[in-house]
Amino acid sequence: MDLDREQESQNIEDRRGRRVSRGIAGGGIGTLLIILLALFFGVDPRMLLQGTGNVQETNYPDAPVPQSQQPGKEDEMRQFVAKVLGSTERTWSEIFQAGGRTYQKPTLVLFSDAVESACGFAQAAAGPFYCGEDQKVYIDLSFYRDLRQRFQAPGDFAQAYVIAHEVGHHVQNQLGIMRKVQSLQSRSSERDANALSVRLELQADCLAGIWANYAHRERNILEEGDIEEGLNAAAQIGDDRMQKRAQGYVVPEGFTHGSAQQRVQWFRRGIQSGDLKQCDTFSRGPLS
Ligand SMILES: [Zn+2]
């Protein structure tokens, strides 16, 4: 990627190295225990955490607890993240403005090991996530090492995709889509709620693609091989591959983020079209 023409976002909250108390509010030891049990039994922990807030994760339930990285590398990564976030701010501000709306920029929280969000306590092992309650994206940078090694998705555009996907959830939140879906889910069976979650996640992938399309058209960010890197990352974190890695077999009814093929398809659709209307994952029939 070429991010030379991108401005670093000012909306980064650096909580790295801060200790988090795990007691009291929302999360806590009980929640943590449930998450660990859920991971052990291969259940999506978010199913058990519903009611603590609207968390949308990118689907890395079986990521190992990361170790800390060297400081020099981390500062480089911090700058990278700030530029990608800055790029999404520019793109979404323009798109919202064209539609007569104002884009409220999200904050991106960098943390290490564990963090307290308005949606509850979260461990780095759960992967990057967006919390609709405080409108913040949370990421532990050591996740990128897992993306590279454990998920076999190297490359800077793969890393940018992770942020753009979480920002996609913020866009859904701004547009009221997230609230509508959660309200529907609260009245649905588990199976239907999962299917709705898949549509929400695939839309976030498509919105990530919309950002890439705009930023590339306007500021030429993509280089040879970038799109393949991004699509590979989308495939590697598809539910089927995640389940296979975690438990050795695949249960399609348990999908909450979409299969590898679906994630690639919707991310590509956004990248290629740059057209928001192409990201309507809700008003079509069964998703292929
Ligand atoms: Zn997501």
> What pLDDT is recorded for position 52?
44
CA 44 to centroid of ligand 1, rounded, Å: 13
CA 169 to centroid of ligand 1, rounded, Å: 7
CA 112 to centroid of ligand 1, rounded, Å: 20
What would the pLDDT profile of 8-29 be if each residue is shown by its tens digit?
A: 999 999 999 888 866 544 455 4
d(CA 99, CA 78): 31
CA 261 to centroid of ligand 1, rounded, Å: 16
Phi, psi of 116 (to 5 degrees): -105, 120
Half-sphere exposure of 229 (CA within 13 A, CB side): 18
CA 128 to centroid of ligand 1, rounded, Å: 9
User: How many other C-beta atoms are found inside a 10 Å radius of the C-beta of residue 152?
Assistant: 13
Range name among 32-46, 128-142, 243-257 with the lowest pLDDT average: 32-46
CA 100 to centroid of ligand 1, rounded, Å: 26
What would the pLDDT profile of 210-235 be if each residue is shown by its tens digit?
A: 999 999 999 999 999 999 999 999 99
User: How many other C-beta atoms are found inside a 10 Å radius of the C-beta of residue 137?
Assistant: 28
Q: Specify whether the CB–CB gap between 130 and 203 falls below 8 A.
A: no
Q: Specify whether the CB–CB gap between 88 and 169 falls below 8 A.
A: no
In the predicted model, is pLDDT for residue 248 greater than 80?
yes
CA 71 to centroid of ligand 1, rounded, Å: 28
What would the pLDDT profile of 82-106 be if each residue is shown by its tens digit?
A: 999 999 999 999 999 999 999 999 9
